[in-house]
Amino acid sequence: MVALVLCTAARESAGQTELNVQLTRVTPEFSGFIRVQGGRFVDAACSVFPVVGLNAWDLMESGAGILPHGGALQSGAFLDGVQYTMQAAAAAGLTVVRAFGHGHDLENHLILQPASGVYNETAFRGLDYILHQANLNGIRVLFTLADNWKTQDSKTNFVRWAGETNLDAFWWSPTVMELYKRHIDVMTSRVNTYNGRRYKDDPALFGWDLINEPRCNCFPEILPPQSEWQTLEASCNVSCADALSGWVWEMGEYLKGADPNHLVTVGSEGFWASRAWQAFLYNPGNFGTPTQLSWAALTGQNFTAQHNSPHIDFCAAHLWPDRWLPLLGWNTAFFNAWVDGHAADCALLGKPFVLEEFGKNVTVPVTPAGIAAERDPAFQTTYAKLLASLASNGTFQGALFWKWALSPPADPTDGLEVGMRDSTFLSYIAPSARAALDTARRASVPGCQPVSPVVKPVPMVPGGATPAAVGAYLPPENATGNLPIQTNSFQTTAGNGSFKASAGTEAAGEAALSATPAAAPAASGVLQAQPVGSAGAGALVSGG
């Protein structure tokens, strides 16, 4: 055990009495890479590994020295949000931190890949620092490789760089897919400037999401009867879902070849397509009335089929009832059906299931009373179900809440943010994480064979840059991505011929794509899609 004391203060609303909270690190030391054996997560020694953690999508920006909204940490005990996050997670008994491995920031414009094949070294060093602090504190990191939504580093960029004008070309264009494979090469072979390890050789990395919340570009303003679905745009056709499934298979295979050490999952919200019987029972919009398919069946996701790939190691889904079912909000019956339905399918696949995003919005401005009334019951229900599943060797083996506050006081204007002082964290998250660790220590996986926890050292590359064969890097002074850049070009050969991606290729699709909104507004409000992170109640958009 490594003793670690975190001190923070919370003021009671009436007496203004300061309450000091002390936590001691309980996360175990690393033992090799995490893998799946017998449908369970285990480490190199075959010790069961409970996946209990948090989402911090803005961690790259913090690691690069750009704090969200220009704010500053209000605790002098920590250098930055990354160190604070990893130490707090270790103290609480959390094991996994999920972070956007490409950034999300729309204010400061910190872009990891501002042009095709060009990488921002300052942004990359932010990711380096995340893994560095994870190593120091015994935390594993789950990185997303890109974002489906129109953030700074999203699938939109890859489509533009390839000169395509159809956003769904991301799922089927050979040129786009080759660009994405080159991105995978850069990410997995990146040499960390803090420890000299390539990402693919770092045990602090838990695994990869192929992409955050993959979807076809299907956002009909008004959903017609199912008999008229053929009149919808091509993005809503089942062929797009098939293309997305093919993309998952191909990219999963490529990623596992580039990095065989780490786990891979899709990163999807977990919807089922129109041809899957589960769509009638579990998709949001069908719950309680399983006779007419809802918008979720048109997203291109097909949970079971897409997680059936042999290159996908574990199943993952998200849960956003506030966004998907704004009239119901958090509903325990829907929650149980959603988790049980996914877990049952994952059991048939022989893979563990992780709820890698879940959250509950609190009416702003956020107050302790609001947290206790609106959020705490949802988290209590989630962790109770997880702990019961872990104790019974069930398929539901992990949950990562959304979203962590990068400083002890959470933002009172963000109803989804969970701070270390919140009752949600002190009464439910931390105790549940410790209980999960206790359960894991008593568990065993029959037939699991220990492996040597080998970590391959890699000589440091000056400046921490990956060899130039897989891309060029912006110098640190271009940290924000706002300064003029030189886009390098590279030649590669695909299975059906060769192509060249260069600075000129991104212009062709720019006009068409810039005029295409990420989601069309709904005339009736039934299918209104909100931008990511907005406080509205759009049915189509998730939290991450």
Looking at every residue in the chain, the average pLDDT score rounds to 79
User: What angle is formed at CA 405 by the lines to CA 70 and CA 313, rounded to 5 degrees?
Assistant: 120
Write phi, then psi, for 20 (nearest 5 degrees).
-85, 130
- Per the DSSP assignment, residues forming a β-bridge with 53 are 96, 400
Cα-based distances in Å from 110 to 68, 144, 247, 268, 280: 11, 16, 27, 24, 41
Query: Which own/partner pairs from 285-291 qualify as long-range (CB within 8 Å, at least 24 positions apart)?
Result: 285/324, 285/325, 285/539, 287/325, 287/328, 287/331, 287/333, 287/334, 287/337
Give the per-residue pLDDT at 221. 54
Whether omega before 365 lies within 30 degrees of 0, making that bond cis, reads yes
Amino acid at 265: T
In tens, the pLDDT along 329-381 reads 789 999 999 999 999 999 999 999 999 999 999 998 999 999 999 999 999 99
Query: Structure tokens of 532?
Result: 């990511």
Beta bridge partners of 404: 418
Residue 209: how many other CB atoms lie within 10 Å: 24
pTM of structure: 0.82
Instruction: Decide if 8 contacts 21 (C-beta within 8 A).
Output: yes
User: Using omega within 30 degrees of 0 as the cis cutoff, is the peptide bond preceding 403 cis?
Assistant: yes
The architecture that CATH gives domain 9-73+83-214+242-514 is Alpha-Beta Barrel (3.20)
pLDDT of 235 reads 79
State residue 40's pLDDT score. Answer: 97
One DSSP character per residue, 275-292 reads TSTHHHHHSTTTTT-TTS
Rounded-to-integer distance, Cα 53 and Cα 259, Å: 23
pLDDT tens for residues 285-330? Answer: 877 666 778 889 999 999 999 999 999 999 999 999 999 988 887 8
What's the pLDDT at 407?
A: 83
Q: Look-up: residue for tokens 């079971």?
A: 304
Q: Residue 515: its pLDDT value, please?
A: 30
Q: Which residues are catalytic?
A: 213, 357
> 381 burial class (0-12, 13-18, 19+ CB within 10 angstroms)?
middle
287 vs 475: CA distance, rounded Å: 51
Output the CA angle 263-269-274, nearest 5 degrees: 115
Question: What are the pLDDT digits (tens) for 187-231?
Answer: 999 999 999 999 999 999 999 999 999 999 987 655 667 677 666
Mean pLDDT in consecutive groups of 10 residues from the start of the chain, 544 residues: 37 33 65 95 96 95 71 46 93 97 74 94 96 96 94 87 95 98 98 97 98 90 65 77 97 99 98 91 80 86 97 98 86 95 98 98 94 97 99 98 90 94 97 97 94 60 34 37 29 28 30 31 25 32 58
Structure tokens at 267: 């990163």
